[in-house]
Amino acid sequence: MNDTWIMLLSVGVAAGLLGGLLGIGGGILLMPVLRFVLHLTPADAAGTTVLAVWCTTLAGGIKHYRLGHVPLRALVPIIISGAVSALICSLLFARWARAGFWLDIGIGAVFTAVAWRMLWEAVPRAPEQRTSAPDALPLRGSLLRKALLGAGAGILPGLFGIGTGAVLVPAFRYCFRAPIKVAIGASLACFCANALISAAFKYAQGYVRLDVALPLCCGCVLGAQIGAIINHRAPARLLGFLFGLLFLYVAARFLYTGIGECLQS
């Protein structure tokens, strides 16, 4: 029992570190451990993961805000529309949970996109222009564009229990022209509300294993603080590339498991 607790705490620290560093919730690391190491059902793994992810986004978002990476006022439309979307999709989660292989297939598809995004970000490019006050840069975009981005981002935690950093970070970076560290901090801040709503619904639906979630959450809070500090001081290109390769394997594992179960049903 103690060994399992220590293992989950360590995984939580790693997931939080990844979240604070790269602006993702950490679910991409937590889900494979819960599914393929602890052998939780897809629904229980999704519910437990999103609770731990909320801890990552909360701790990481607060730290990035203090570091000046979160233009909070500009994010309000994204946060509100994302929360509404996460609420609606959370109500649909119970229906999806009855066919667990669809969760595996959906998560595998999302993980594939995350992996390619990480590999793409790791490709060397021209140095970005530095600014002395990145938090002062507005997120250029209409209210409608922000609302649509938030609504789309709320689908992933609601239906699959995983984060939206793979969507939000590149969206902030390329659609709203935010510096990379602002994109990462804003991603964590926006996803925090979505994750809280999704976790609350999944707990009420009985899909959160608190005995597993407790050490994960403790580790995520610690790791997110460390990741945000590293993000502020150093580039994450190499780490993103290595994790991108790892997540391609994880995505293949989910897709293989889900498709196999689908064909057998």
Does pLDDT of 125 surpass 90?
no
What pLDDT is stored for residue 7 in this prediction?
93
- Report the domain count for the chain: 1
State the pLDDT at residue 38: 92
Where is pLDDT greater, at 59 or 247?
59
The predicted structure's pLDDT at residue 133:
43
Average pLDDT over residues 32-60: 89
SS3 content of the chain, % helix, strand, coil (to 5): 80, 0, 20
Does residue 250 form part of some domain?
A: no
Does residue 205 have a pLDDT over 60? yes
Query: What own/partner pairs with CB < 8 Å and gap ≥ 24 does 232-238 have?
Result: 232/67, 232/69, 232/181, 236/21, 236/22, 237/121, 237/122, 237/124, 238/122
Distance CA 110, CA 223 (A): 23
CA 104 remoteness from chain centre: 16
With a CB cutoff of 8 Å and minimum separation 6, the contacts of 254 are 31, 32, 35, 104, 105, 107, 108, 111
Q: Which has the higher per-residue pLDDT, 261 or 195?
A: 195
Asked, for residue 46, whether it belongs to a domain, the answer is yes
pLDDT of residue 132: 44
Question: What single letter denotes the amino acid at residue 141?
Answer: G
Poorest-pLDDT segment among 3-7, 26-30, 121-125, 128-132: 128-132
At residue 130, the pLDDT reads 46
Q: For position 1, what pLDDT does the model report?
A: 55
Please report whether residue 246 resides in a domain.
no
Q: Rounded distance, CA 195 to CA 202, Å?
A: 10
| Residue of 44 and 102 predicted with greater confidence | 44
Cβ neighbours for 85, distance < 8 A, ≥ 6 positions apart? 150, 151, 152, 153, 154, 155, 158, 194
* 11-20, 37-46, 180-189, range with the lowest pLDDT: 180-189
Summarised one tens digit per residue, pLDDT across range 210-252 is 999 999 999 999 999 898 888 777 665 665 676 667 667 767 8
99 pLDDT above the threshold of 80: no
Reply yes or no on whether the pLDDT at 129 is more than 60: no
Q: Is residue 68 part of a domain?
A: yes
pTM, 2 dp: 0.72
Residue 139 has pLDDT above 80, yes or no: no
- Which residues constitute the domain of residue 78? 2-99+140-234
Q: Is the pLDDT of residue 154 over 70?
A: yes
Q: Is 258 within a domain?
A: no
Using the predicted structure, report yes or no on whether residue 52 has a pLDDT greater than 50.
Answer: yes
- In-domain check, residue 19: yes
pLDDT of residue 247: 66
What would the mean pLDDT of 78-93 be, rounded to a whole number?
83
Cβ(19)–Cβ(227) under 8 Å?
Answer: yes
Confirm whether 244 is domain-assigned.
no
204 has a pLDDT exceeding 60: yes
* Within a domain: 249: no
